[in-house]
Homo-oligomer: A and B are copies of this chain.
Amino acid sequence: MATVKGTVRVHFKDGVLDPQGKTIHTALRQMGYDWVSSVRTGRLFEIEIDADDPSRAQDQLREISQKLLANPVIESFHVEVHS
Contact = CB atoms under 8 A, between A and B. Distances in A.
Interface residues of A, number: 33
For this chain, the copies found in one complex come to 2
A37 B64 contact: no
Contact of A28 (B36, B38, B68): B68
A28 B67 CA distance: 9
Mostly helix, strand, loop or mixed at chain A's interface? Answer: strand
Given A27-B68, A31-B67, A48 B42 contact: no
A74 interface: no
Interface of A: 3, 9-11, 21, 24, 27-28, 31, 33, 35-51, 60, 63-64, 67-69
Contact of A42 (B31, B33, B45, B69): B45
